[in-house]
């Protein structure tokens, strides 16, 4: 690929259709593919020509015929694909034989893990290629559609529970049968990131009693919203780090944390660990002694196995028994759901290429924090790590948003309130002295209704305003009945006109309340 498609200032000279190459993954047991027929079709709509190595999607249940049906070109040899393609899309980091196939000017996009593979970065630098790592895309709101780490973690968390259920010798849900009572399984999820939350939701959906722990206190509400119990330590320290990841904790916190895990290991049936700190080996959270204390038949699923494991006795890539406890150290959980994983990953890549300008305006925008964050090698230079983006801490943000309060404001507001209350009292007194008795009875009911409505609405938490519509609908129903009684009069008078208006407005309120409530309820349906 020529420089005219890698520099922002020269993108207007692009006239040809850039070729995207989708090679077959050669990493052992890797079943995923970087583009499915669906995402390949989307890439073609961006103006790219898509080349697919023969049988690239076979392990993910995507036959060559499916790619040909959407207009992709099937390439018979790996060498030909890497030679013809301008942009290579991969899942796993390139293996040595794949690095040798790269030529200067090409663009490689995939998982690279630059912190763990500095020697690979050096090899890619010498090849004079442009490399974007899907694992270094910053975790900001705008980049969520390109966050491949979260996509794969979601699948890994789900699959972890499925693997645990496959090796656990009992039901997840509790049952009462003629043969006796079956208690529900107890599941502990350590780490409430994307993978942890997916595991919590899946285990809870299967009927288990789920507990979760995370050093980041901000995830407590997310855990509890899924129906799990959030385990807390009586400790002021918080583990929230940059980019939504956890940070290393103090020795005192770690001791208290390990004591909690030791206690839970004796009580639970299944432990799922997901704790990772970017750029560092996986922290050891489950010791050999804890494993020995677990009941026979228990299961541990270590999602951090590829980075060394959170469990002291995990063997990466293996499933084995340790003193009656099944240790699952699989490193290919997303790959075990290859079809779904490939679709999500391919969609992440499509969003990235779309943001990079598509075929007509493809470029490396160094001013774009997402592209700059993903860029690890460019123009013969290693560009990892990217420069840090200054971010405000929560304390600084709250200080920025604070509005100065003047001491005289409350007193002035109080004086105005007293003035209007006195004025309203005098007006009511004047009406009471001059108006007929029937009017006063209606006015009394009207004033009490206003007071009741004010108490009902304004003393309720704003989060409950939508459920409160059922109450306001009931009040509107009373208004409609009163209006209809006034409409029963034979003569046309101001009273009947007001009654008609009351019926009309009350009907609008009830109809709108039901529509909004129904729409809100649909948001929570699965």
The mean pLDDT value of the chain amounts to 86
In the numeric block, the tokens 């729409």 are attached to 519
Q: Catalytic: which of 41, 245, 293, 339?
A: 245
Q: Catalytic: which of 139, 170, 284, 336?
A: 139
Overall average pLDDT of the 454-468 stretch: 60
The closest alpha carbon to 384, from 392, 375, 393, belongs to: 375
Q: Catalytic: which of 17, 144, 263, 455?
A: 144
Please compute, for residue 331, the number of CA atoms within 13 A of its CA located in the half-sphere on the CB side: 16
Is residue 139 part of the annotated active site? The answer reads yes
The closest alpha carbon to 144, from 194, 192, 108, 190, belongs to: 194
Q: Would you call 201 helix, strand, or coil by DSSP?
A: helix
Q: Assign residue 71 a region (left: φ > 0; alpha: ψ between -120 and 50; beta: otherwise).
A: left
362-401 pLDDT, tens digit each? 999 999 999 999 999 998 999 999 987 655 444 454 444 4
Is residue 144 part of the annotated active site? The answer reads yes
Q: Are 136 and 373 in contact (CB under 8 A)?
A: yes
| Buried/exposed code over 19-49 (b: 16+ C-beta within 10 A; e: otherwise) | bbbbbbbebeebbbbbbbbebbbbbbebbbb
137-149 pLDDT, tens digit each? 998 999 999 999 9
Overall average pLDDT of the 17-46 stretch: 97
Please compute, for residue 14, the number of CA atoms within 13 A of its CA located in the half-sphere on the CB side: 25
425-459 pLDDT, tens digit each? 788 777 777 777 767 777 777 777 777 766 666 66
Confidence band, pLDDT 50/70/90 cuts, at residue 107: very high
Confidence band, pLDDT 50/70/90 cuts, at residue 7: very low
Q: Are 351 and 344 in contact (CB under 8 A)?
A: no
Q: Catalytic: which of 147, 214, 269, 332?
A: 147
Among 292-306, 383-397, 401-415, the minimum mean pLDDT is found in 401-415
Q: Are 366 and 383 in contact (CB under 8 A)?
A: no
Is residue 123 part of the annotated active site? The answer reads no
Is residue 284 part of the annotated active site? The answer reads no
The closest alpha carbon to 338, from 56, 20, 45, belongs to: 56
Q: Is the preceding peptide bond at 244 cis, omega within 30 degrees of 0?
A: no
Q: Are 329 and 316 in contact (CB under 8 A)?
A: yes
Cα-Cα-Cα-Cα dihedral sign, residues 390, 152, 356, 80: positive
In the numeric block, the tokens 């109080």 are attached to 414
Residue 406 in this model has a pLDDT that exceeds 70: no
Residue 27 in this model has a pLDDT that exceeds 60: yes
258-271 pLDDT, tens digit each? 999 999 999 999 99
Q: Are 479 and 446 in contact (CB under 8 A)?
A: no
Q: Catalytic: which of 31, 32, 135, 150?
A: 150
As a dihedral over the C-alpha atoms of residue 81, residue 83, residue 87, residue 90, rounded to 10 degrees, the angle is 50
Is residue 322 part of the annotated active site? The answer reads no
DSSP string, 75-102: ES-HHHHHHH-SEEE-SSPPPHHHHTT-
Q: 10 Å Cβ neighbour count for 386?
A: 16
């Amino acid at each position: 690929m020529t420089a005219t498609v890698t520099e922002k200032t020269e993108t207007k000279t692009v006239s040809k259709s850039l070729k995207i190459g989708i090679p077959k993954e050669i990493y052992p047991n890797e079943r995923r593919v970087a583009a499915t027929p669906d995402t390949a079709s989307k890439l073609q709509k961006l103006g790219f020509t898509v080349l697919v190595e023969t049988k690239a999607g076979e392990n993910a249940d995507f036959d060559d015929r499916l790619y040909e049906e959407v207009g992709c070109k099937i390439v018979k040899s790996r060498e030909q694909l890497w030679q013809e393609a301008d942009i290579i899309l991969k899942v796993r980091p390139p293996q040595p034989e794949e690095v040798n196939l790269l030529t200067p000017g090409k663009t490689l996009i995939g998982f690279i893990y630059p912190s763990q593979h500095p020697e690979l970065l050096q090899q890619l630098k010498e090849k004079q290629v442009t490399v974007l790592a899907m694992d270094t895309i910053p975790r900001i709101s705008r980049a969520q559609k390109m966050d491949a780490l979260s996509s794969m973690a979601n699948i890994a968390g789900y699959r972890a529970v499925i693997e645990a259920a496959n090796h656990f010798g009992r039901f997840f849900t509790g049952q009462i049968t003629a043969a006796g009572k079956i208690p529900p399984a107890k599941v502990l999820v350590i780490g409430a990131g994307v993978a942890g939350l997916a595991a919590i939701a899946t285990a809870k959906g299967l009927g288990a009693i789920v507990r979760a722990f995370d050093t980041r206190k901000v995830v407590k509400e997310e855990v509890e919203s899924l129906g799990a119990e959030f385990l807390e330590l009586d400790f002021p320290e918080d583990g929230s780090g940059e980019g939504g990841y956890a940070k290393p904790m103090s020795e005192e916190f770690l001791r208290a944390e390990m004591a909690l895990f030791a206690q839970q290991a004796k009580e639970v049936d299944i432990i799922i660990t997901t704790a990772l700190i970017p750029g560092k080996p996986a922290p050891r959270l489950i010791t050999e002694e804890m494993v020995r204390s677990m009941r026979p038949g228990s299961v541990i699923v270590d999602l951090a196995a590829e980075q060394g494991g959170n469990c002291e006795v995990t063997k990466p890539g293996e499933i084995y028994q340790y003193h009656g406890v099944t240790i699952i150290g699989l490193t290919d959980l997303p790959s075990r759901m290859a079809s779904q994983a490939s679709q999500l990953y391919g969609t992440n890549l499509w969003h990235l290429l779309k943001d990079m300008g598509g075929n007509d305006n493809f470029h490396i925008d160094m001013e774009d924090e997402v592209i700059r964050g993903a860029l690890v090698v460019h123009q013969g230079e290693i560009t990892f790590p990217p420069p840090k983006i200054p971010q405000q801490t929560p304390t600084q943000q709250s200080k920025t948003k604070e509005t100065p309060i003047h001491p005289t404001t409350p007193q002035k507001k109080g004086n105005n309130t007293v003035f209007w209350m006195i004025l309203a009292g005098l007006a009511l007194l004047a009406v009471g002295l001059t108006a007929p008795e029937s009017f006063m009875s209606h006015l009394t009911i009207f004033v009490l209704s206003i007071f009741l409505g004010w108490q009902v609405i304004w003393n309720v938490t704003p989060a409950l305003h939508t459920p409160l519509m059922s109450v306001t609908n009931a009040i509107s129903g009373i208004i409609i009945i009163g209006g209809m009684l006034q409409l029963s009069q034979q003569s046309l008078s101001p009273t009947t006109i007001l009654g008609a208006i009351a019926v009309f407005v009350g009907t609008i309120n009830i109809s709108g309340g039901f529509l909004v409530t129904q729409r809100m309820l649909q948001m929570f349906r699965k």
